[in-house]
Chains A and B, each alone.
Chain A
């Protein structure tokens, strides 16, 4: 039984110098067989296991992770959460996630530090203005909060932005989603792991999948560095390495894996009160609770699994940041890193069954998966438990690439892929 985290448990543990906190999750060896195995112990995978146990009563399940939980893209992203997507299918998917974020800390009894500080998307040319206004209207029709801001209103909401008409790409306005914001990425993985573990889910770290065993058109189990694990249902949530797992099962996916970079500055006092994203010049920035500026750069245009990324991509982003925020000109950058993102041709995810019985994929989140973590886990759990998609992820099936019914979010993703 897990002890509940509360102000009382905090006070109680302070008396013993915080040396006797209960272990947050076990470190089990894999059993011989499970009802389902989730490959990938990031936010999405752990959330899937959590909701499988909580809502579908599947408790004899495991999450296998090749490194440590939350050590992949969950720990590498810029933590932005929003749901202002253009198409109905995406709006349904991302707003489902946003609604879960709003009560997540209570649901999993773990403070994920969800902060609804708003996300602002800037327009720098006439086409941007048209596109963003269209998106604002589409969002409102789908019940998602969205506002159009004039240049003056942008300046008022975030005073450090350079709104001079004389810069190369002047700010012509922007959109604002006030319910959007940020969260603590590690806490999401840890909170879901702790919650799943409490319900009996085995979270197995340092366990790399080496092969998928098939019997005809159905899965039989997985070969791992800790031996063979028998199971009839496999949920793959391997982000940038989804194609590697797909190759083991003998199927191909419509994915390309590319490095995506981010960087943080030295910590400073509160200076930027919201998240600002700019598609046209590719700059987005927010400030972490520690005070660091969190800056997201773009992807490299070629397939690579190197987790580095090119210098010219970072340089381009910083040029745009400096023109929009001259106040940052003497900030020093502390860290830069890259992660591998798997991108679909239509820049929308896949949460789907496959042609192989018992094999499910949750992938293709590209550059924007973090925001969807709770919703993705909830809907993927539904898909695995029922062998049928939920109405909210039906459009994100793998067959859309055959039927042609794509969910094209390239423009509306607010960040160019």
Chain B
């Protein structure tokens, strides 16, 4: 349970958002050319980091927009929030 600052709406309770999992997993451009191993890697394998993780969130009960969050999964502290398509903050 924590507060997320939506880049469009500001500070809201986490219960307004839905989690979209690990961020920056790039959808393959030519899916037909992937091997089964590469498909499995794209579809199922996750870093599932204990520590600072990059993830996607959706403001489901608000503006319904997607954005990225950098969060420490060991204590739920949010380090940064940035919009889709933007590069993550470097520090």
Contact = CB atoms under 8 A, between A and B. Distances in A.
Nearest to A242: B48
Interface in A291-337: 301-306, 308-312
A311 B45 CA distance: 29
Contacts of B1: 308-312
Considering residues A244, A252, A303, A312, which has the most beta carbons from chain B within 10 angstroms of its beta carbon?
A: A303
Contacts of A243: 46-50
A310 B3 CA distance: 12
B5 interface: no
A403 B48 CA distance: 22
Contact of B74 (A306, A310, A342, A345): A306
Given A243-B50, A308-B76, 9 more contacts: A252-B47, A254-B45, A254-B46, A255-B48, A301-B19, A303-B48, A308-B1, A310-B1, A312-B1
Contact of A401 (B14, B40, B47, B48): B40
B48 A301 contact: no
Contacts of B49: 243, 247, 303
Given A304-B73, A304-B76, A306-B74, A401 B50 contact: no
Interface string B1-43: 1000000000000110011010000000000000011011101
B44 A254 contact: yes
A402 B37 contact: yes
Contact of A255 (B18, B46, B53, B76): B46
B-side binding surface: helix, strand, loop or mixed? mixed
Contacts of B40: 254, 401-402
Contacts of A312: 1, 15
A77 interface: no
A302 B45 contact: no
Contacts, number: 71
Please list the 4 inter-chain residue pairs (A to B) with the smallest Cβ-Cβ separation, ordered nearest first.
Answer: A302-B19, A243-B48, A254-B44, A310-B1
Given A253-B48, A254-B45, A403 B36 contact: yes
A241 B44 contact: no
For this complex, into which size category does the number of interface residues on chain B fall? 20 to 34
Interface of B: 1, 14-15, 18-19, 21, 36-37, 39-41, 43-50, 53, 55, 73-76
B15 A310 contact: yes
A278 interface: no
A202 interface: no
15 contacts: A244-B50, A247-B47, A252-B46, A254-B44, A303-B19, A303-B55, A305-B50, A306-B74, A306-B75, A310-B15, A345-B43, A401-B44, A402-B37, A402-B39, A403-B36
A320 B85 CA distance: 41
Contacts of A128: none
Contacts of A308: 1, 76
Contacts of B19: 301-303
Contacts of A247: 47, 49
A413 B64 CA distance: 30
B40 to A, nearest CB: 4
A65 interface: no
Interface string A221-252: 00000000000000000000101100100001
A287 interface: no
Contacts of A257: 48, 50, 73
A197 interface: no
Contacts of A254: 40, 44-46
A252 B45 contact: yes
B59 to A, nearest CB: 14
Contacts of B74: 305-306
Contacts of B44: 254, 345, 401
A301 B14 CA distance: 11
A336 B18 CA distance: 24
A256 interface: yes
Given A301-B19, A303-B55, A312-B15, A256 B48 contact: yes
Contacts of A311: 1
Interface string A241-275: 10110010000111111000000000000000000
B73 A303 contact: yes
A254 B46 CA distance: 6
A401 B45 CA distance: 9
Interface in A185-244: 241, 243-244
Contacts of B55: 302-303
A256 B50 contact: no
A342 B46 CA distance: 12
